[in-house]
Structure formats: structure tokens, C-alpha cells
């Protein structure tokens, strides 16, 4: 009987994954440019007790909503992206990187006077020495918001899922979420949110939110110390948001899915080694969206997201997973179970 169950699960997961090329998803949220300065340290500065980094190279990557786009694109989905950049060099670089990955930038608004969110990390000998950020976390201008919402209204009917990637950099607000939810509801489009705790009230009516363990605890005021407190937190979030489901990501403990009909699924981690959890939440919600867009139910979509996360945390740096690698991850894990 167990073999039959595992075989059935394997067939379903592979079937969903084979249909990912038909997934149509819109990503809206905070776009960021991750700038890396790589080097080595061989001496301490005579001016202050700080290391001197001899720079050997620099690189840039997409962060925030941009990384969600990258994950969906790697999975084979058709993705539209909507967000804000500044009229600056970082914004031009971010747009160029998006174009280089085949993205349309029609849904991205350049706001005068607002810096593009950029995080610069200085890394020496695989160790981050310092990070400095250029950003403005205040709300976007009314004209910018209007342009974003017009884009959403005009394009939402062409997708099955909307991912809200909220990093609290100013794009996501109560007004934006209300308008987005109204547009999605009229067209029967699924809305899923990677949340920030201070904005939790904005997400009422979303179909699913994906807080991590700490965010679920902070949002509910429940100290999560065991299965019972986890269950209470999950159920409280479901009720307060009026959601169909809540997926709590729990690091080495896997994920816990709570559904409005009372169903629960506790999915153990499949990660064999954890080198870097950077961007894992982006991978989770991207895979969840792709699976849901091709008809997977919440438990199967969450299981696929868990496999994808297990793959990327085994790689150094922000990473994505392609369908072939995810097929192998599923097979390897189910063979061991």
C-alpha cells in the first residue's frame, strides 16, 4: 500500500512538473539589485582596525521580486514582472539583467527621485565582510502606483496566478493589495503572498501566504515551540486573513500546510546539505505558483516547493532549479523514503 501511495505521488508530481511550460504567472513586488564585490584579505588597514579587501571581481544578480521571476523562468513558466526602479545606473543595470533573461520590462515603472534598491555585499574568502544598502523604504508616488495598477488590470486576465513578493521597500501597500485582490477576484486568479509581518493585514483575501517559522510567530503573537503551538499559529493566520491556505516554512523541519477546510500536511525537508538559504523563500513561492497555475492542489504544490527548496539550499548563493533537476530531486527523494 505504501509503494502504491509513493508511486501515485511521484506520478502526480512529475505530471505537474511536465506542465510547467503552460504556467502563466504575474509577479509584483519589490525589485532589488544584488551587487557583489569579491576579493581577498591579506592585511589590516593602518587607518583603522578593519580588513583591506583587494577586489578581484564584481557581479550583479536580481533580488527580491526579480529573483522570484528568475525562479519561475528557470522552471519554464511564462512570467510577467511588475515593480519599480529608480532613474539611476542601478535601475538601468537591473532592467538590462531582466531583458537578458528574456523578461519584458513593460510592467516596470521608473520613478524619478527614488533610488533603485541595491544591496552591495563585500565577500572575501567566501565570508561576507560588510553589506551596505542603497534604498528608500517609503511608499511609491501616486503616479507610480497608478501606472502599476493599470498594468495589473490590463494583464491579469492572461495569467492564472499572481505572486506578491513583499520586501517592505514601498511597492506593496494596503491600496495596492485591495485593487489587486479586486482584479484577481473578478478573473478567478489565484493570489499568493510572500509576506512581511508589518504588512500582514494588507493580505486579507489572498489565497495563500508563505511565512517562515519566525514570521508566523511574530504575526500571531504565538511562540511556536511544538506542533500544537504551530497548529494554533497556522489556524489563527488562516482565520485572520480569510485565506484558503497558509504554508509555514520551517527550515530543517520542512514545511507545514494548513488549509481552510481543516486539512493539514507536514512535509519533512528533503535537503541533504544546507550551504546557503539565500533566496530559498523565493524558490518556494515561485514553485508553488507554477504548480498551482497548472492545476496542482495545495498539498502537491507545497510538496513540489519543498523539493525545489531542498535543491537550492544545497547550492552556494542565490540559486534556481530547472525542471530536469527537480525531476531528479523527486525521484531520488522518493526512492529513499
CB atoms within 10 A of CB 51: 17
Which one of the listed residues 30, 166, 282, 300 is annotated catalytic? 282
Q: What HEC string does the chain produce?
A: CHHHHHHHHHHHHHHHHHCHHHCEEEEEECEEEEEEEEEEEEEECCCCCCEEEEEEEEEEEEEEHHHHHHHHHHCCCEEEEEEEEECCHHHHHHHHHHHHCCCCCCCEEEECCCCCCEEEEEEECCEEEEEEEECCCCCCCHHHHHHHHHHHHHHHHHCCEEEEECCCCCCCCHHHHHHHHHHHHHCCCEEEEECCHHHHHHHCCCCEECCEHHHHHHHHCCCCCCHHHHHHHHHHHHHHHCCCEEEEECHHHCEEEEECCCCEEEECCCCCCCCCCCCHHHHHHHHHHHHHHCCCCHHHHHHHHHHHHHHHCCCCCCCCCCHHHHHHHHHHHHHHC
**Rounded-to-integer distance, Cα 290 and Cα 190, Å:** 11
Count the residues in the chain: 337
For residue 54, indicate whether it is catalytic: no
Q: With beta carbons less than 8 A apart as the criterion, state whether 39 and 123 touch.
A: yes
Residues acting as catalytic residues = 282
Amino acid at each position: 500500500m505504501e509503494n502504491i501511495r509513493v508511486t501515485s505521488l511521484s506520478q502526480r508530481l512529475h505530471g505537474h512538473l511536465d506542465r510547467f511550460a503552460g504556467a502563466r504567472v504575474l509577479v509584483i513586488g519589490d525589485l532589488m539589485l544584488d551587487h557583489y564585490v569579491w576579493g581577498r584579505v591579506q592585511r589590516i588597514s593602518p587607518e583603522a582596525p578593519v580588513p583591506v579587501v583587494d577586489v578581484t571581481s564584481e557581479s550583479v544578480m536580481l533580488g527580491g521580486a526579480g529573483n522570484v521571476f528568475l525562479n519561475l523562468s528557470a522552471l519554464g513558466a511564462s512570467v510577467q514582472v511588475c515593480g519599480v526602479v529608480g532613474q539611476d545606473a542601478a535601475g538601468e543595470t537591473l532592467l538590462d539583467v531582466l531583458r537578458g533573461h528574456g523578461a519584458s520590462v513593460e510592467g516596470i515603472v521608473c520613478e524619478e527621485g527614488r533610488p533603485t534598491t541595491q544591496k552591495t555585499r563585500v565577500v572575501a574568502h567566501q565570508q561576507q565582510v560588510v553589506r551596505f544598502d542603497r534604498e528608500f523604504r517609503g511608499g511609491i508616488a501616486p503616479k507610480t502606483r497608478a501606472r502599476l495598477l493599470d498594468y495589473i488590470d490590463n494583464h491579469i486576465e492572461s495569467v492564472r496566478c499572481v505572486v506578491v513578493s513583499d520586501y517592505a521597500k514601498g511597492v506593496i501597500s494596503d491600496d495596492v493589495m485591495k485593487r489587486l485582490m479586486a482584479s484577481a477576484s473578478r478573473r478567478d486568479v489565484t493570489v499568493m503572498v510572500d509576506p512581511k509581518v508589518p504588512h500582514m493585514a494588507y493580505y486579507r483575501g489572498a489565497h495563500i501566504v508563505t511565512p517562515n517559522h519566525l514570521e508566523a510567530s511574530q504575526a500571531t503573537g504565538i511562540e511556536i515551540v511544538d506542533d500544537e503551538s504551530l497548529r494554533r499559529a497556522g489556524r489563527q493566520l488562516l482565520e485572520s486573513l480569510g485565506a484558503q491556505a497558509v504554508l509555514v516554512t520551517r527550515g530543517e523541519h520542512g514545511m507545514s500546510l494548513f488549509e481552510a477546510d481543516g486539512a493539514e500536511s507536514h512535509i519533512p525537508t528533503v535537503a541533504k546539505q544546507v550551504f546557503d538559504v539565500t533566496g530559498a523563500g523565493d524558490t518556494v513561492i515561485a514553485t508553488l505558483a507554477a504548480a498551482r497555475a497548472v492545476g496542482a492542489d495545495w498539498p502537491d504544490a507545497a510538496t513540489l516547493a519543498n523539493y525545489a527548496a531542498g535543491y537550492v539550499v544545497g547550492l552556494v548563493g542565490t540559486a534556481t532549479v530547472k525542471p530536469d533537476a527537480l525531476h531528479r530531486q523527486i525521484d531520488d527523494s522518493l526512492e529513499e523514503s
